[in-house]
Amino acid sequence: MSDTKNQHVDLENARFDEQRQVMQQIIAADHCPFCRENLEKYHKQPILREGKFWLVTHNQWPYKFTKLHLLFIYKEHVTHLPEMNPEAGRELIELAQWAAAEYDVPGGGIAMRFGDTDYSAGTVAHLHAQFLVADIEADGYEPVRIKIGKQKK
């Protein structure tokens, strides 16, 4: 694999310098940063809620113009939808309902990338979903955009 991508992370999809630095450590250690045994080594946000299949935490590097950006991380190491237990879909929605109520969310979105990071544009190759609430009152506000797919070189 390259210096910017291994089986767990894709540095080319990172958005922040600090994020790139942490991802370089992950590449050197050859860890999956979202697997439970490694999560606290790289992710400094607390776990807010946990189910049988998912755990919920704040995104360490939230998207610009989000008021709330949560990660729902699949507890087992999988990278693609066919590997996910179908029952986990129900739990994901239940956790999203909890988050919407807990944070009194007026509206937002849920996004999930999966599979090869060249296609998904994800930074971490471990199934996770993003729960996003835009900060429409922020100075200079622009709509939050989710990137899917990488530019060809």
Q: Please list the pLDDT of the chain residue by residue as tens digits (153 residues).
A: 455 656 787 666 666 577 777 677 766 767 888 889 988 887 889 999 999 999 999 999 899 999 999 999 999 999 999 999 999 999 999 999 999 999 999 999 999 999 988 888 888 889 999 999 999 999 999 999 998 888 777
> What gap in Å lies between CA 56 and CA 105, rounded to an integer?
16
pTM: 0.87
Torsion-angle region of 39 (φ positive above 0: left; ψ -120 to 50: alpha; else: beta) = alpha
CA distances from 58 to 21, 30, 45, 48, 149 (A): 19, 24, 6, 8, 24
Nearest CA-CA partner of 34 in 2, 9, 66, 63? 9
